[in-house]
Amino acid sequence: MTGPGALVADRYRLRSQLGGGGMGAVWLARDELLGREVAVKQVLVPAGIDPALAQANREAAMREGRIAARLSHPHAVSVYDMVLDQGQPWLVMEYLPSVSLAALLQERGVLPIAQVAQIGAQVADALAATHAAGIVHRDVKPGNILIGEGAGREGLVKITDFGISRAVGDVSLTQTGVVKGTPAFLAPEVAQGSSPDEASDVFSLGATLYACLEGTPPFGLSDNALQMLHKVAGGDFQPPQQAGALTAPLMRMLSADPAQRPTMVPVRDQLATLAAGPDRDVTEVLTARTTLPKTLPGMPARPRPAPVERTPIAPPPPPPGAAAEPPAAPPAQPAPAEPASRPAPAPVTRRRPRWPAALVAVLVLSVVAVLLVIWLNRPDGQDGTAAGNAPTSSAPAPDSAGQSASPEPDAEPEGTTPSVEESTPETTTPTATTPDGPPTAAEMQQFVTDYYALLPGRPDAAWERTGPTLRDISSPGDYRAFWSNFRSVTLGEVRADPSTLVVDAEVTFVENDGDTFPEQHVIQLVAGPDGQLLVDSDVPV
């Protein structure tokens, strides 16, 4: 009976089950002969089938194991042995403590473009070697791509599960009418009944990278395998919307015509070039470990949360159709009643430029004129005192021109904004303001600089400068725990767009173990109840 402690083929002692599926269970085992840990896969033969067919399946599994053992590559899980135990085939493989790309996507949703390009380049490098050895993988998908974990293995990318691989020309391994592979990642011609080949592996890798960027495979997902095969066979899918510079390479890999797809070597080279960028060697990309992006608890790396989804400021240009979306910053502003349910954030210290006297005078006269028109058009006694006093309450503003610590910083916004919204409720869009008016790019840049200056050493102070979106998906404890992972955080170039309150910033993280990695972040700002800026979301792209 199979279970922990069982000895397979008088050599491999089973320790614990790592996973399982329709093709068989995978176990962590110890090779008693060589004294090393291995992964062994029990290749199941369906019960109740014709004995002759069962024997054919066992023989096929043994052949496939020998085929997979031909391959040796740093980004492919090695196959050590193929044995029979009580008539059942067992595949003996290298053991890699890891998380699968499928599990990673389930946790994070999607991954940054540069990360996807590097993972794709390394997997393509392994598959190029696979094809050169005359082997077709036939089941390239996120679940078969592993990211190593632990000392000596952290970030190591390897493709696994060559258990259904096929040597080119070995037709005896494929039973007529049986489609081997995962439907959502199959090439259209395979779903239509053609035999898998190198071109179908290219499509499956493209579908895997598509899922990493879009959050779903090109043809979606369905529990109904026949329905999924029908959709894949049709070959129609929506072009990627978040792939940036990877859009063109992906579309070539996902061509419905196999003849139009590149082979795996140019796929590898193009992905590696994109991952390298202008300042990195391509060969380094193929050997580098994959550092997974760090995000706050509950906040996906990409896409950005719906309330702040927008066209990025920095290149590359947005994909077709993205520019038509309206800016999301104003709607992300908290409702008037929301601040009452949460302690008001501590005032944010920011450098404010001194306003020129002439500009101050123009602003004051404009406010007075607007309030006067509103007051004259209201019924007698309706907020008459507030309307009549508003110009008076705003009078100190020019006298304190440029003072960053005005004793009544929010008297003007509270006195004027509701009146304007009442007079034009359907045409006025709420806009974030500070006590001195709409923030400038310099103010936004300084605020983000001040915010990151508090991290990682003073997370409680930084938490007081966060907005409603971030607080809805996290808590002070989660926030504190996240930042405790880092030794230091350094801010690079900061770019701000006052029209959307979006800041692009280069952020370099140094973990407690000394690992260093840079990220490009998109930071959405909003105005708090006192008009001060808050960090509503902060996500890597």
Q: What is the pTM of this model?
A: 0.55
Phi-psi sector, 241: left (phi>0), alpha (psi -120 to 50), beta? alpha
HSE-up of residue 508 (Cα within 13 Å, Cβ side)? 7
7-94: CATH topology is Phosphorylase Kinase; domain 1 (3.30.200)
pLDDT band at 411 (very low <50, low <70, confident <90, very high): very low
pLDDT, greater one: 292 or 248: 248
* Domain 7-94 matches domain 98-292 at the CATH topology level: no
User: What is the three-class DSSP state of 488?
Assistant: strand
Residue type for 320, please?
P
pLDDT at 154 over 50: yes
The Cα 328–Cα 308 span in angstroms is 5
pLDDT at 32 over 70: yes
Q: Report pLDDT for 20.
A: 67
Q: Report pLDDT for 194.
A: 87
Q: Report pLDDT for 182.
A: 67
pLDDT at 418 over 50: no
Cα-based angle 167, 64, 201 (whole degrees, multiple of 5): 50
Q: Report pLDDT for 25.
A: 81
Which residues, other chains included, contact 290 with Cβ-Cβ below 8 Å and sequence gap of 6+?
115, 118, 119, 122, 147, 155, 156, 157
Active site residues: 139
Least confident of 11-20, 419-428, 452-461: 419-428
User: Which alpha helices (DSSP H) does 163-215 contain, by range?
Assistant: 188-191, 198-214
What is the per-residue pLDDT across 314-358, written as a single tens digit (0 to 9) for each?
344 444 444 444 444 444 444 433 333 333 333 333 333 333 333
Least confident of 135-139, 153-157, 440-444, 515-519: 515-519
pLDDT at 367 over 70: no
Q: Report pLDDT for 268.
A: 96
Q: Report pLDDT for 109.
A: 86
Least confident of 77-86, 126-135, 180-189: 180-189
Backbone angles phi, psi at 279, to 5 degrees: -115, 15
- Dihedral angle at the C-alpha atoms of 441, 446, 451, 457, nearest 10 degrees? 150
pLDDT band at 148 (very low <50, low <70, confident <90, very high): very high
The Cα 118–Cα 268 span in angstroms is 9
Backbone angles phi, psi at 90, to 5 degrees: -130, 130
Q: Which residues face 40 on adjacent strands?
A: 27, 92
**What's the token pair of residue 28?**
């962590």
98-292: CATH topology is Transferase(Phosphotransferase); domain 1 (1.10.510)
- Closest by CA position to 149, among listed 18, 272, 23: 18
264-276 vs 198-214: helix axis angle to the nearest 10?
A: 30
pLDDT band at 466 (very low <50, low <70, confident <90, very high): very high
The Cα 149–Cα 289 span in angstroms is 11
- Mean pLDDT across 18-44: 84
The Cα 373–Cα 424 span in angstroms is 13
pLDDT at 420 over 70: no
- Mean pLDDT across 228-240: 87
pLDDT band at 82 (very low <50, low <70, confident <90, very high): confident
CATH architecture of 441-540: Roll (3.10)
Least confident of 247-261, 283-297, 348-362: 348-362
Mean per-residue pLDDT over the chain, rounded: 74
Most confident of 427-431, 432-436, 465-469, 512-516: 465-469
Q: Report pLDDT for 267.
A: 97
pLDDT band at 134 (very low <50, low <70, confident <90, very high): confident
% of the chain with per-residue pLDDT over 90: 35
Query: For the chain, what are the domain ranges?
Result: 7-94, 98-292, 354-431, 441-540
pLDDT at 36 over 60: yes
Least confident of 35-49, 71-85, 167-181: 167-181
Q: Report pLDDT for 208.
A: 96
Tell me, what DSSP letter sits at residue 499?
T
Tokens 């944010």 map to which residue?
348
pLDDT band at 384 (very low <50, low <70, confident <90, very high): very low
Most confident of 56-60, 87-91, 112-116, 410-414: 112-116
- Closest by CA position to 251, among listed 228, 259, 260: 260
User: What is the three-class DSSP state of 238?
Assistant: coil
Tokens 């023989």 map to which residue?
59
Q: Report pLDDT for 165.
A: 57
- Longest CA–CA span in the chain (Å) reads 97
Q: Say how many C-beta atoms besides its own lie within 10 A of residue 201's C-beta.
A: 28
pLDDT at 176 over 60: no
Tokens 């049709």 map to which residue?
234
Instruction: With residue 535 as reference, give the H or E element that holds it.
Output: strand 533-540
Least confident of 165-169, 285-289, 322-326: 322-326
What is the per-residue pLDDT across 41-63, written as a single tens digit (0 to 9) for each?
887 766 667 788 778 777 877 87
User: What is the three-class DSSP state of 154?
Assistant: coil
Q: Report pLDDT for 44.
A: 74
pLDDT at 426 over 50: no
